[in-house]
Amino acid sequence: MDDNWLITETTFDPQQLHRQETVFTIGNGYLGTRGAFEEGLPEARPATLVNGVYDAVPVAFTELANAPNWLPLAISINGERFGLERGQLLHYRRTLNLRTGVLSREVRWRSPRGHTVDLSWARFASLADPHLLALRCHVTPLDFDGEIELRAALDGHVDNRGYVHWDTIAQGGADNRIWLHSRTRASRIDLAEVATLIVQAGEATNISSTDCSGCPTLVARGRLRQGQTMVADKLVTLYTSREDAAPNQAAERHLDRLSAAGQGYAELQAAHQIEWEKYWAISDIFIEGDDQAQRAIRFSIFQLLAAAPRDDTRVSIPAKALSSFAYFGHVFWDTEIYMLPFFIYTQPRLAHNLLMYRYHTLPAARRKASAGGYPGAQYAWESADTGDEVTPVWVPHRKDGSPVRIWTGDQAIHITADVAYGAWHYWRTTGDDDWMVDYGAEIVLETARFWESRVKWNACWARYEISRVMGPDEYHHTENNNAYTNGMARWHLKTARETLGWLQNTRPTLADQLVARLDLTPARLARWEAISEQLHIFQDPSSGVIEQCENFFALKDIDLGTYEPRQQSMQVLLGIEGANTQQVLKQPDVLLLLYLLSDEYDQRAKKANWDYYAPRTDHTFGSSLGPAIHAILACELGMPDAAYTHFRRAAQADLMDVRGNADDGLHAASAGGLWQAIVFGFGGLKVTPVGWSATARLPSHWRRLSFHFYHRGKLETVDLTPEQDPQHRGKAGRPERGDETQDAQMGSKRQSGLADNRRLVQRRMSR
Among 332, 357, 407, 612, binds ligand BGC (CB under 6 A): 332
Closest contact distance (angstroms) between CB of 670 and ligand BGC is 9
CA dist 356 and 442 (Å) reads 12
Residue 415 touches ligand BGC, criterion: CB under 6 A: no
Residue 654 touches ligand BGC, criterion: CB under 6 A: no
**Between residues 626 and 684, which has the closer beta carbon with respect to ligand BGC?**
626
Task: Tell me which stretch binds ligand BGC (CB under 6 A): 206-214, 327-335, 360-368, 388-396.
Answer: 327-335
Among 669, 671, 674, 685, binds ligand BGC (CB under 6 A): 669
DSSP state of 67: P
Dihedral class, residue 478 (left if φ above 0, else alpha if ψ from -120 to 50, else beta) = left
**Between residues 97 and 383, which has the closer beta carbon with respect to ligand BGC?**
383
CA dist 568 and 620 (Å) reads 9
Dihedral sign from CA coordinates of 704, 709, 711, 713 = positive
Task: Tell me which stretch binds ligand BGC (CB under 6 A): 171-179, 206-214, 330-338, 700-708.
Answer: 330-338
Closest contact distance (angstroms) between CB of 496 and ligand BGC is 24
The per-residue DSSP string of 554-620 comes to GSBP--GGGG-S-SS-HHHHH-HHHHHTBT-BSS-SHHHHHHHTGGGS-HHHHHHHHHHHGGGB-TT
At residue 399, φ and ψ (nearest 5 deg) are -85, -55
Report 302-321 residues binding ligand BGC (CB under 6 A): 319
- Sort 731 into a burial class: Cβ within 10 Å, 0-12 / 13-18 / 19+: exposed
Cα–Cα separations (whole angstroms), residue 379 to 359, 385, 387: 11, 13, 8
Closest contact distance (angstroms) between CB of 511 and ligand BGC is 34
Q: By rule CB under 6 A, what count of residues binds ligand BGC?
A: 12
Closest contact distance (angstroms) between CB of 122 and ligand BGC is 32
Residue 334 touches ligand BGC, criterion: CB under 6 A: yes
DSSP state of 759: H
Closest contact distance (angstroms) between CB of 471 and ligand BGC is 10
**Between residues 169 and 326, which has the closer beta carbon with respect to ligand BGC?**
326
Binding mask 232-271 for ligand BGC (x = CB under 6 A): ----------------------------------------
Helical axes 348-360 vs 441-454, angle rounded to 10°: 50
**Between residues 202 and 672, which has the closer beta carbon with respect to ligand BGC?**
672
**Between residues 392 and 683, which has the closer beta carbon with respect to ligand BGC?**
392
**Between residues 281 and 412, which has the closer beta carbon with respect to ligand BGC?**
412
Q: How many CB atoms lie within 10 A of CB 82?
A: 19
474 is catalytic: yes
Closest contact distance (angstroms) between CB of 333 and ligand BGC is 6
Closest contact distance (angstroms) between CB of 673 and ligand BGC is 11
Residue 625 touches ligand BGC, criterion: CB under 6 A: yes
**Between residues 97 and 623, which has the closer beta carbon with respect to ligand BGC?**
623
Residue 662 touches ligand BGC, criterion: CB under 6 A: no
DSSP state of 386: S
**Between residues 251 and 592, which has the closer beta carbon with respect to ligand BGC?**
592
The per-residue DSSP string of 194-226 comes to EEEEEEESSEEEEEEEEEETTEEEEEEEEEE-T
Closest contact distance (angstroms) between CB of 174 and ligand BGC is 45
- Sort 553 into a burial class: Cβ within 10 Å, 0-12 / 13-18 / 19+: middle
Task: Tell me which stretch binds ligand BGC (CB under 6 A): 139-147, 328-336, 419-427, 544-552.
Answer: 328-336
Q: Count how many residues are written for the chain.
A: 767
Task: Tell me which stretch binds ligand BGC (CB under 6 A): 329-337, 346-354, 592-600, 725-733.
Answer: 329-337
The per-residue DSSP string of 285-311 comes to EEEES-HHHHHHHHHHHHHHHHHS-SS
Binding mask 416-455 for ligand BGC (x = CB under 6 A): ----------------------------------------
Q: Distance from CA of residue 391 to its chain's centroid?
A: 18
DSSP state of 690: T
Task: Tell me which stretch binds ligand BGC (CB under 6 A): 331-339, 482-490, 685-693, 748-756.
Answer: 331-339
Closest contact distance (angstroms) between CB of 319 and ligand BGC is 4
Burial 311-337 (b: 16+ CB within 10 A, else e): ebbbbbbbbbbbbbbbbbbbbbbbbbb
Q: Which residues contact 698 (CB under 8 A, 6 or more apart)?
A: 682, 705, 720, 721, 722
Helix or strand run (H / E) with residue 362: helix 362-371
Among 284, 385, 474, 716, binds ligand BGC (CB under 6 A): 474
Closest contact distance (angstroms) between CB of 213 and ligand BGC is 38
DSSP reduced 3-state for 366: helix
**Between residues 290 and 473, which has the closer beta carbon with respect to ligand BGC?**
473
**Between residues 432 and 473, which has the closer beta carbon with respect to ligand BGC?**
473
Residue 629 touches ligand BGC, criterion: CB under 6 A: no
Peptide bond connecting 565 to the previous residue in cis, omega within 30 degrees of 0: yes
CA dist 515 and 521 (Å) reads 7
Q: How many CB atoms lie within 10 A of CB 573?
A: 15
Task: Tell me which stretch binds ligand BGC (CB under 6 A): 272-280, 304-312, 332-340, 517-525.
Answer: 332-340
Task: Tell me which stretch binds ligand BGC (CB under 6 A): 74-82, 254-262, 326-334, 754-762.
Answer: 326-334
DSSP reduced 3-state for 325: coil
**Between residues 126 and 623, which has the closer beta carbon with respect to ligand BGC?**
623
**Between residues 192 and 650, which has the closer beta carbon with respect to ligand BGC?**
650
CA dist 668 and 672 (Å) reads 6
Please identify which of the residues 442, 452, 474, 636 carries the catalytic annotation.
474
Helical axes 291-307 vs 640-651, angle rounded to 10°: 50
CA dist 694 and 50 (Å) reads 38
Closest contact distance (angstroms) between CB of 440 and ligand BGC is 23
Closest contact distance (angstroms) between CB of 580 and ligand BGC is 14
**Between residues 320 and 449, which has the closer beta carbon with respect to ligand BGC?**
320
Q: How many CB atoms lie within 10 A of CB 198?
A: 16
Closest contact distance (angstroms) between CB of 622 and ligand BGC is 8
Residue 479 touches ligand BGC, criterion: CB under 6 A: no
At residue 717, φ and ψ (nearest 5 deg) are -125, 135
DSSP reduced 3-state for 68: coil
Residue 623 touches ligand BGC, criterion: CB under 6 A: yes
Dihedral sign from CA coordinates of 564, 570, 575, 581 = positive
Residues near ligand BGC (CB under 6 A) are: 319, 327, 332-334, 472, 474, 586-587, 623, 625, 669
| Catalytic site positions | 474
